[in-house]
Amino acid sequence: MNDATGLFPIHPDYERVASDVRFDHATDLQLEQPAKHWTLADLGYPASVRDRFPSEVAVTAPFRILSPVGTAKLQRVVRTLREAPVGRSVDKPAASGTMIRGTVHRSSYIRDLIGSALLRDHMRKTTDVAVQPTCLSHELGHLNIPPTDAAQPAVRWHCDTNAVVLVVNVFDTSDLDGGEFQFFDGPRAEGRALLAAGMEIPEERIVTPGMTEAGWGVLLQGAAVLHRASSLRTPGERVTMASAFDPVDATFPDPNRFYPLGGVPDSERSIEIDAQFFELARYSARRSEYLLGRYLRDAEWSTDPSTIADDLARCVADVTEALDILRRGGISRSAAQALREEKDAELFDV
Ligand SMILES: [Fe+2]
């Protein structure tokens, strides 16, 4: 049932770790349904915005994903990754903690777990939408490790730039003070406006669903949910593993905002930075492949060349945009920001 092979070619430059830890869905998964979930409507999104998302589910309550056996295996892999030399990979030094990326290239365990068809089927039942691990392989299995400074949130308030995100709690954190997954009980623009004005999110608008058990996780349509991990006030082992999944149906607006930057100086380059162009190519190819397949199956006869051209252009819009970025060798920070704002407005404006 492990069929991740083929989703992305394994990057040859990463050091492999813990290759003796093998994923076995029969012993490692213990998939349970969340006791509840919050819908986009619960967060205050109007129907005109909700209709642009493939699922009504905004964020689930925590649910069990891994058995004790699977949890112990993942913990071993994560500890090994944390200590492994990174070579040209970047343990992205976020101001609010550390992020280890590229884990699906380094660990066959994480690759096979995320690629598990059983996990994918479970996610479909939970969100009512068929998903697949994103072709942006660096958005799979990345590990968030909180800062040692207890004044900093473990992960700052943010929205994801992917469609469906699975966050797995790797270690038991029930004895720790803080470090909990939390989300804003409202539309993202409202929460962001508070933060932009230098205000705190009011306590009564913060939901803490209680993801403290190891091997448990949440699913969220992360672009629509402002979320964070609270400050870790006691030292302890807290790691979350986040993975992006895309709806198989590529007709929904794409919340991904991945735009490779051009002219990155050599001192800032890494495997992840250098991989961006190929990642974008594969990601856009997957979306256009779906839309072209649908066109071949479902398009109706027309005699109007401009209508036909428009329909065809919509199918290849992602590839067309990717080609433009690739031929320019990446785009500037300001151009990427302008694109993000333009597409966020299309997705969230009422
Ligand atoms: Fe996130």
Calculate how far, in angstroms, residue 143's C-alpha sits from the geometric centre of ligand 1.
Answer: 11
Calculate how far, in angstroms, residue 242's C-alpha sits from the geometric centre of ligand 1.
Answer: 7
CA distances from 67 to 30, 61, 142, 179, 183 (A): 5, 18, 20, 22, 26
Calculate how far, in angstroms, residue 158's C-alpha sits from the geometric centre of ligand 1.
Answer: 6
Mean pLDDT of 262-277: 91
- b/e per residue 66-96 (b: at least 16 CB within 10 A): bbeebbebbbebbbbbeebebeebbbeeeeb
Looking at the whole model, is its pTM more than 0.95? no
- Choose among 19, 140, 141, 18: nearest CA to 80: 18
> In the predicted model, is pLDDT for residue 146 greater than 90?
no
CA distances from 156 to 144, 164, 200 (A): 11, 19, 12
Using a pLDDT cut of 70, give the percent of the chain over it. Answer: 94
Calculate how far, in angstroms, residue 230's C-alpha sits from the geometric centre of ligand 1.
Answer: 12
CA distances from 54 to 58, 123, 181, 259 (A): 10, 13, 23, 23
Calculate how far, in angstroms, residue 221's C-alpha sits from the geometric centre of ligand 1.
Answer: 10
Calculate how far, in angstroms, residue 166's C-alpha sits from the geometric centre of ligand 1.
Answer: 9
Mean pLDDT of 138-154: 83
The two tokens of residue 12 are 């040859």
Calculate how far, in angstroms, residue 27's C-alpha sits from the geometric centre of ligand 1.
Answer: 28
One-letter amino acid identity for 184? F
The answer to whether the CB of 207 falls within 8 A of the CB of 38 is yes
What pLDDT was estimated at residue 235?
Answer: 79
Question: Using 50, 70 and 90 to split pLDDT, how confident is the model at 179?
Answer: confident
Calculate how far, in angstroms, residue 227's C-alpha sits from the geometric centre of ligand 1.
Answer: 6
Helix, strand, or coil (residue 217) = strand
What pLDDT was estimated at residue 90?
Answer: 55
What pLDDT was estimated at residue 158?
Answer: 94
Q: What does the alpha-carbon distance between residue 170 and residue 215 come to, in Å, rounded to a whole number? A: 6
Calculate how far, in angstroms, residue 252's C-alpha sits from the geometric centre of ligand 1.
Answer: 20
Each residue of 85-94: pLDDT tens digit? 666 665 554 4
> In the predicted model, is pLDDT for residue 145 greater than 90?
no
Calculate how far, in angstroms, residue 184's C-alpha sits from the geometric centre of ligand 1.
Answer: 12
> In the predicted model, is pLDDT for residue 72 greater than 60?
yes
Calculate how far, in angstroms, residue 303's C-alpha sits from the geometric centre of ligand 1.
Answer: 47
What pLDDT was estimated at residue 89?
Answer: 63
Domain extents in the chain = 25-247, 266-348
The DSSP 8-state label assigned to residue 116 in this structure reads: B
Helix, strand, or coil (residue 321) = helix
Calculate how far, in angstroms, residue 335's C-alpha sits from the geometric centre of ligand 1.
Answer: 23
Calculate how far, in angstroms, residue 300's C-alpha sits from the geometric centre of ligand 1.
Answer: 40
What pLDDT was estimated at residue 95?
Answer: 44
3-state secondary structure 277-313: HHHHHHHHHHHHHHHHHHHHHHCCCCCCHHHHHHHHH
What pLDDT was estimated at residue 186?
Answer: 98
Q: What does the alpha-carbon distance between residue 250 and residue 252 come to, in Å, rounded to a whole number? A: 5
What pLDDT was estimated at residue 96?
Answer: 53
Name the residue with higher pLDDT: 89 or 118.
Answer: 118
Calculate how far, in angstroms, residue 47's C-alpha sits from the geometric centre of ligand 1.
Answer: 24
Q: What does the alpha-carbon distance between residue 23 and residue 236 come to, in Å, rounded to a whole number? A: 26
Q: Is the dihedral of CA 127, 33, 166, 19 positive or negative?
A: negative
- Choose among 54, 58, 57: nearest CA to 254: 54
What pLDDT was estimated at residue 279?
Answer: 96
CA distances from 36 to 65, 168, 209, 307 (A): 15, 17, 10, 45
Each residue of 222-238: pLDDT tens digit? 999 999 988 888 878 88
Q: What is the mean pLDDT of the chain?
A: 92
Each residue of 11-41: pLDDT tens digit? 998 889 988 999 999 999 999 999 999 999 9
What pLDDT was estimated at residue 237?
Answer: 86
> In the predicted model, is pLDDT for residue 338 greater than 90?
yes
Calculate how far, in angstroms, residue 101's C-alpha sits from the geometric centre of ligand 1.
Answer: 14
CATH homologous superfamily of 25-247 equals q2cbj1_9rhob like domain (2.60.120.620)
- Choose among 257, 277, 224, 261: nearest CA to 340: 257
The answer to whether the CB of 161 falls within 8 A of the CB of 341 is no
Calculate how far, in angstroms, residue 308's C-alpha sits from the geometric centre of ligand 1.
Answer: 39
